[in-house]
Amino acid sequence: MRPQKVGSRPMNDSELSRLRRQIIQVLVLLFGVECAASAFTSPWLHVRRVQLVGISGLTPAEVTLAQNAMQLPAKTNFFRVPIGSFTQSLKGLPCVQRVSIIRHFPSGIEARIVARQPIAILQMGEKLFEVDPTGVAIRVARPEVAARLPHVIASAENTPALGTVSGNLSVNTAVQIIESEKQTVSGGIAKIDVDSVGNLCLNMRDGVLIRLGLPDEMPAKLKQLHLLYRHSPDLAAKMTLVNLSVPDYPACVLRSDSAPPSNGDSL
């Protein structure tokens, strides 16, 4: 016998079919709610493992900061982990360049860190910083790192805070030169001096001084530098100083000269 509405006519086939669909939809909805509630409350989905990857180049203090940034309350649900907050906290560390956070179902969280790599030491007054290829001050320089990396030496003005870049254009240009020239210039760069008005002077590892002047026309100046070492790999045996401040009119001081000439010798 078909169900009947009380005090009404019997239900036809289409009405009965619609009623069945509505009942099924309600049951499916209730089942979904029950599954969601179980997912967010089940002890099986409590986070039990938080892992940091890529921290081998960090100092112990930086590792501690990164670990603190990933702290979770006990019994935090797998789906309630604040991924965005963790990402921002880790990216806020001066030593971190990039970070990605991955969930490992059902109870693991992994943070993959790409640490900033120092390529030079920025020396401003008494302060020494490790800086990355973009000029970002990563940390106060460690003695063992300062001993092996080229230095950029400048006045203490515009000293950067950790995680930021110096406001001195010449300083930033010097860092970029070290990064771009580390594999191209014979002997490499030992240090770059930046004077009070922004003139750059490269101190090559072979002992030659290369004056580049202000940080303009830098591609042309570096091209001249490459040509110079290409044609004279033993440059240090011939010259003590090369002036490329005006790249179209380079000048030099020969090693045999007892004093710099007034106008420089034409290359």
With a cut of 60, say whether residue 219 has pLDDT above it: yes
Pairing of strands 137-140, 127-131: antiparallel
- Quick count: other Cβ atoms within 10 Å of Cβ 118? 24
Count how many residues are written for the chain. 267
d(CA 126, CA 135): 18
> Which helix or strand (DSSP H or E) is residue 78 part of?
none
pLDDT digits over 225-265, tens only?
999 999 988 999 999 999 999 999 999 999 876 454 444 44
Average pLDDT, the chain: 87
Contact indicator for 122, 145 with CB cutoff of 8 Å: no
> Which helix or strand (DSSP H or E) is residue 192 part of?
strand 189-194
pLDDT digits over 140-188, tens only?
999 999 999 999 999 877 789 999 999 899 999 999 999 988 777 656 8
Domains (range + CATH), the chain: 44-115 (3.10.20.310), 120-266 (3.40.50)
Q: Could you tell me the pTM of the whole model?
A: 0.79
Higher pLDDT, 24 or 90: 90
Is the sign of the CA dihedral 243, 193, 187, 118 positive or negative? negative
pLDDT digits over 59-79, tens only?
999 999 999 999 998 888 888
Partners of 136 in the β-ladder: 165
